[in-house]
Amino acid sequence: AELREELREALILRGVEKLYRHQGQAVEAAWARKNVVVVTPTASGKTLCYNLPVIQSIMEDPNARALYLFPTKALAQDQLAELTELSGQLGKKVQLQLGAFTYDGDTPADARKAIRTRAHVVITNPDMLHTGILPHHTRWSRFLGNLRYIIVDELHTYRGVFGSHLANLFRRLSRLCRFHGSDPIFIMSSATIANPLELAEKLI
């Protein structure tokens, strides 16, 4: 019921007339400023668990920002297409100019400055966060200062030594967010694994 009418209508246009229970619970938890981990099988609608709170926050405040982390470029491109389609349908109802961009090693140098200043959603990977964003956080001050959500998909891939590196990266990211004046919520998702809560807690 708390979803904006325009967002509900955009979902209906895509054939989504009702949310699954896990989607509703995830969205409500995010709005209550709780970190969230969602673990359900493939093709069960995990994307809406984070796209809905992100898009609604941007509709309510154009300065709001979100950071999406994916382990592969292919997943990042899929997510960009999903966001673009949903925001395009919203654009027919409201004046929403949602800027969503991938930021990785292939991003041209002349595009990076524009992404830092204009992007509502930056879709990247852990390596680029480590080498391309956090060391240059002063250039990202506007983005980090308005960061509302950090989305971590494919949670199950971040285990072992790689997971321990990522946990330190998240500590650094959280510290820099506080330095720039924000306190973002983590929304994490994964295919079915046995211990999602334990893994999420260790990571963040």
Give bridge partners of residue 186 from the DSSP assignment: 150
The answer to whether 100 and 121 are in contact (CB under 8 A) is yes
Task: Answer yes or no: is pLDDT of 95 > 70.
Answer: no
Give me the pLDDT at residue 92, please: 61
Separation between Cα atoms, residue 33 and residue 185, nearest integer Å:
6
Task: Answer yes or no: is pLDDT of 122 > 90.
Answer: yes
Least confident of 26-30, 109-113, 128-132: 109-113
- Residues 46-91: tens digit of each pLDDT: 899 999 999 999 989 999 999 999 988 788 888 888 888 877 777 6
H/E stretch holding 37: strand 36-39
Nearest 10 degrees: Cα torsion 96, 81, 40, 155:
-100
pTM attached to this predicted model: 0.93
- Residues 135-193: tens digit of each pLDDT: 999 999 999 999 999 999 999 999 899 999 999 999 999 999 999 999 999 999 998 78
The answer to whether 112 and 149 are in contact (CB under 8 A) is no
Q: Which amino acid is at 139?
A: R
Token look-up 């654009």 returns 91
Average pLDDT over residues 131-137: 94
Separation between Cα atoms, residue 132 and residue 204, nearest integer Å:
21
Give bridge partners of residue 153 from the DSSP assignment: none
